[in-house]
Amino acid sequence: MNTDLKLNADITKRSRKRLLLTLIVASAVFFALSSLILSPLYIYTCSDVVYATTALPEIIDIVIDIVDVAAYAVSFSIIIYSIFKFTLKKSIGLIFIYIASVALRYLANLIITTISDGAFSVDEVFYVLIYLTLDLVLFGIVLILPSILIPSYYSKRAVIEKANAKLGKKMPSVHEELFATKKIFSAKNPLHISALVTGIILSLVKIATRVWFDLYIGAPSSAADAMWMVAYYLSDILIALIVYAISLYIFAHFDAKEQREN
């Protein structure tokens, strides 16, 4: 019995360490791509007369958006999975890593902007602080749902498990119930709901930002501009599905790792 407990404790420790290391590596990769490579390249192409009138700055901007969406999807999925496996309290380390990576990204962007402008701007610091705050508020909103749904799922499962035990019925394991199913989406699966709502929130934020930007620059001046606008909004809507797909892959990946260890 003691050996079994020690074995389970070791598996849990390895699982938590795996999530921690994965988030650190993923955050470092996304930070390097977005803040150290793509953002400086975007600023350079926008300010260089050779590239400014070409499609290159716009292409780089699209790639930055893709990297940012991937960063959100991967980070949020890892943290949601950790809450599912180990509770919100035991996921604090991951939460701090995410917050630190976001703060570092905004700091790097501020430094790069200051260097490119050749002067320090207090207004730029103000805007960075606003966007950082909004980013952290978004993160807090994303954390609310799994923090409610996952404990609720385990509470309901405990009640059903107790009732089934009295009736002599066998209950499927958590793995069988949530991961072995072939359903793409289940309203009874707290991971599915958390992932989908996360994707929808990110999609709505992107759409809201797009609407604000379009109101600022005005209506499209040609049919081509209108088509590009429609394409951008469609891509923003697709963010919800992309984030959901990435989340399902990450959930399945970590669950498969644990199943092999068990």
pLDDT at 116: 81
Q: How confident is the model at residue 236 (pLDDT cuts 50, 70, 90)?
A: very high
Task: Label residue 71 exposed, middle or buried (CB < 10 Å: 0-12, 13-18, 19+).
Answer: buried
pLDDT for residue 112: 87
Domain boundaries of the chain, sorted by first residue: 2-261
What DSSP state is assigned to residue 89? G
- pLDDT 10s digits, 96-115: 999 999 999 999 989 988 88
**The pLDDT value given to residue 5:** 37
Is the distance from CB of 244 to CB of 201 less than 8 angstroms?
A: no
In this structure, the dihedral spanned by the alpha carbons of residues 90, 76, 202 and 149, taken in order and rounded to 10 degrees, is: -50
What is the pLDDT of the chain when averaged over all its residues? 89
pLDDT for the residue 172: 86
One-letter amino acid at 128 equals V
Q: Does the pLDDT value for residue 48 go beyond 90?
A: no
The one-letter amino acid at 16? R
Q: Give the DSSP letter of residue 87.
A: T
Residue 3 pLDDT > 60: no
pLDDT category, 8, cuts 50, 70, 90?
low
Residues 139-190 pLDDT 10s:
999 999 999 999 999 999 999 988 888 888 888 889 999 998 888 999 999 9
- Which tokens belong to 16? 């938590």
* Residues with Cβ within 8 Å of residue 138, at least 6 apart in sequence: 201, 202, 205
Taking residues 90-101, what's their average pLDDT?
96
Residue scoring higher pLDDT (168 or 247):
247
Give mean pLDDT, residues 251-262: 89
pLDDT surpassing 60 at residue 46: yes
Reply yes or no on whether the pLDDT at 1 is more than 50.
Answer: no
| pTM > 0.85: yes or no | yes
More confident residue, 242 or 118: 242
Of 70, 100, 96, 66, which is closest to residue 82 (Cα–Cα)? Answer: 96
**Are 66 and 57 within 8 A, CB to CB?**
no
Task: Write the DSSP symbol of residue 104.
Answer: H
Candidate from 136-145, 148-157, 198-207, 222-231 with smallest mean pLDDT:
222-231
End-to-end CA distance of the chain: 16
How confident is the model at residue 149, as a pLDDT? Answer: 96
CB atoms under 10 Å from CB of 258, counted, come to 16
**Residue 9 pLDDT:** 66
